[in-house]
Structure 1
Amino acid sequence: MGVFQLVALVTRGKDVEVDEDLTVAAVARRLGIAPATLRTWDRRYGLGPSQHETGRHRKYSSGDLAKLTFMRRLIVSGVAPAHAAEQAKTHKGELGLAKLIQRAGKKRSNEDLVSSLFTAAYALDSQYLDTAIADYLKRSGVVATWQEILVPLLNQIGAEWEETENGVEVEHLVSEIVKRHFLSVAFQKAITARPVLLAAVHEEQHCLALYALRAALNERGIPAHFLGPRTPLVAITGLVKKVAPPAIFLWALLPENADPRFIRNIPAVRPAPRIIIGGPGWDLKKCKDAVFAPDLASACEEIEQAIGA
């Protein structure tokens, strides 16, 4: 199955400030680790609560939490726990998250990056996710970010949910971060004056891949009429009649949304548009008048051919 079928950058100490001291359980919950792990860090590395009153349970201050957050982010970035602890002990509140991720990105594999993003996602560390995705997107572009990093990450999150039925909030958090980054991709100098049409058909709402496609086209200077999720047939036919786009891309993740009429009922215009479909919902035997794009790179190539690029 093709990957297209699936679904200021410095973080400062203020992101972990708390109004009151926290228990072991509360800190572990914030960090996304087990309380036993937190106690191990205290016993093995000396990263425990800095203040303790006789006769009372030890609690963590905002400064303690900042150090522990820094340590967890170092570990997620590939630093060995012992070395991460040494750096965390001298941490003064400036997390330097962007530099940390940039330095790690030069050494770690895509597989390691996906693993670190998965860990950060389940810790609900939106700042780590935001910064790491932005760094890779800047270095590698939309297609590589989507196919090499984000699709494996989303698949892993989906597999975790299927196994445990936990993590719906994780998928939503990651999806919104990814969507925001794709929406921010700047449009380059146009290579055509004729926009293509992009739409998720019928009641299809799961269309993060469609945002990836628009972002990839922005990088290439290809304008698009983006109709987004839940696009009815009448909206597509109306736009085709008015502007005769050179290419029409229709996305359907779920079979119940992949109605072949969205292909058959495209109005006859000249020049005839290239109809491209993506997503696992389509029954290709019923869609012989359309070209199937198995991944994001293929979709971009088909659209480029349609506009003569």
Structure 2
Amino acid sequence: MSDAAAYGDVTHGEERGEAQAATEAGVPLTTGALARRLGVSPTTLRSWDRRYGIGPAARADGRHRRWTRQDVAVLEAMCRLTSSGVPPAEAARAAKDTADTPPGTAEAYVRPPTPSPSKAAGTLPLGDVRQECRGLARAAVRLDAPAVEAQLAAAVEQYGVAVAWQEVMAPTLHAVGRKWASSGDRYVEVEHMLSWHVSTTLRRHTPAPERQGDVSATGPVLLACVPGEQHTLALEALNAALGAVHLPTRMFGAAVPVEALTAAVQRLGPSAVVLWAQARSTASLPLARHVADTQWGVKGARRGPLVVLGGPGWSGPSTRGLPRPHTLPQALDLLSGAHRSESTGERP
């Protein structure tokens, strides 16, 4: 069980268990109880009822919604379909048609054709992206942690870390960030939850250090954010992708002090050092050149690392002589070449 799922069980397990028991006993559920069971907000259920006609078959006193077992089956199908990227209107139609069918007969709806770029996922500005981005965005906006976790894991399993980051995780994170920036601090909770689950997924798919190769012959790739830089997700993605191709790494994470970074370089003798700067205010060329000039080894055979600049923060200053890959695949190619060159005694 994931940490997120375990936390959900601790905080809402009793309510969900009661809702499950009530449904199985044939007792209609209130909107609040059903929302807790499905992991969505009551507002979402009311909106689906109003927009798509997915509502309760009966209402107590003509006003209050009461959801029957059949209603719950339709809503569960709706949640599964929207979480897999199906547009809500299409998912509503499919949920009504397939809720009573045996498992597996609605498989065609689980992997629908890629929608046109004009169709938006929820309220996020996604544009022309993979189908998986749309499902991930909808789950994130609903704060549906189990669905977010399942979508991320499925993307990594199907495409690998590099493609999943480049074409599923990063576009969705960027869309959330743009929405946050343009909506007066709304959606902050969406960004925080999505970022946490992305980080968790990346770490779960990072091979253990002992499986990343022998670091005694060739130094590892050292990954660090520059001082003052707290954004680590892209570095975590690169760390996982390097592990997947069996390159040894040492991840130091956010805001590494200059003295600590220099000491780590001298102790590890890395084949390369990746310095991440998300903002121009944290990017420091003097620091990058200081790291590049750091050497180790006996006199007459001293060596230094290849310093690679990562992140949009480096777009302003002149980075002559210091490679700056713009995508994760480019960084993988560059660092793989540096590692091979180090093992053969050549420089890339």
Give TM class, smaller chain. Answer: 0.7 to 0.9
Distance 1:100 1:114, change over 3 A: farther
Measured in 2, the distance between the counterparts of 1:261 and 1:31 equals 53
**Larger displacement relative to structure 2 (200-209 or 103-112):** 103-112
Q: State yes or no: 1:290 paired with 2:290.
A: no
Deviations 1:250-290 (A, max 9, x none): 00001121122321222133322110011111255443242
Q: State yes or no: 1:268 paired with 2:295.
A: yes
Q: State yes or no: 1:135 paired with 2:143.
A: no
Match of 1:121 in 2: 140
Deviations 1:199-237 (A, max 9, x none): 011011111000000000110111111110011111110
**Larger displacement relative to structure 2 (57-66 or 182-191):** 57-66
Q: CA deviation at 1:156?
A: 1.2
Letter aligned with residue 80 of structure 2: R
Give the ranges of 4+ consecutive aligned residues of structure 1 lying more than 6 Å apart after TM superposition: 99-103
C-alpha RMSD of matched pairs (Å): 3.6
Give 3-state SS (helix, strand or coil) of 2:64's partner. Answer: coil
Measured in 2, the distance between the counterparts of 1:70 and 1:36 equals 16
Give 3-state SS (helix, strand or coil) of 1:33's partner. Answer: helix
Give 3-state SS (helix, strand or coil) of 1:190's partner. Answer: coil
State the aligned residue count.
Answer: 291
Match of 2:44 in 1: 33
| Overall identity of the aligned pairs, in % | 28
Q: CA deviation at 1:164?
A: 1.6
Q: 1:48 aligns with which of 56, 70, 78?
A: 56
Contact 1:247 1:273 in 2 (8 A): yes
Measured in 1, the distance between the counterparts of 2:178 and 2:225 equals 24
With structure 1 as the length reference, what TM-score do the two structures score? 0.80
Contact 1:252 1:278 in 2 (8 A): yes
Q: Which entry has the higher C-alpha Rg, 1 or 2?
A: 2
Deviations 1:64-106 (A, max 9, x none): 5564143133144325422212223569xx9x9xx98998358
Contact 1:204 1:230 in 2 (8 A): yes
With structure 2 as the length reference, what TM-score do the two structures score? 0.72
Measured in 1, the distance between the counterparts of 2:227 and 2:106 equals 43
Contact 2:283 2:313 in 1 (8 A): yes
Letter aligned with residue 249 of structure 1: V
Q: State yes or no: 1:59 paired with 2:57.
A: no
Deviations 1:116-158 (A, max 9, x none): 2111110111111111111110111111001111111111111
Within 5 A, what are the aligned runs for 1:131-170?
A: 131-165=150-184, 166-170=186-190
Distance 1:68 1:286, change over 3 A: same
Distance 1:283 1:23, change over 3 A: closer
Deviations 1:162-206 (A, max 9, x none): 222311111111111111111011425527642111001101111
Match of 2:93 in 1: 82
Q: CA deviation at 1:111?
A: 2.5
Q: Highest relative contact order (Cα 8 Å, sep 6+), 1 or 2?
A: 1
Give 3-state SS (helix, strand or coil) of 2:93's partner. Answer: helix
Distance 1:275 1:18, change over 3 A: same
**Larger displacement relative to structure 2 (104-113 or 257-266):** 104-113
Give 3-state SS (helix, strand or coil) of 1:249's partner. Answer: strand
Match of 2:126 in 1: none
Give 3-state SS (helix, strand or coil) of 1:197's partner. Answer: strand
Measured in 2, the distance between the counterparts of 1:148 and 1:102 equals 23
Letter aligned with residue 133 of structure 2: V
Match of 1:251 in 2: 276
Measured in 1, the distance between the counterparts of 2:176 and 2:276 equals 21
Measured in 1, the distance between the counterparts of 2:47 and 2:111 equals 30
Letter aligned with residue 98 of structure 2: Q
Distance 1:66 1:262, change over 3 A: farther
Distance 1:283 1:108, change over 3 A: closer
Give 3-state SS (helix, strand or coil) of 1:152's partner. Answer: helix
Match of 1:4 in 2: none
Within 5 A, what are the aligned runs for 1:203-218?
A: 203-218=228-243
Match of 1:199 in 2: 224
**Gapped runs of 5+ residues in structure 2?**
6-11, 20-28, 116-128, 297-301, 342-348
Q: State yes or no: 1:104 paired with 2:103.
A: no
Q: 2:265 aligns with which of 236, 240, 243?
A: 240
Distance 1:63 1:124, change over 3 A: farther
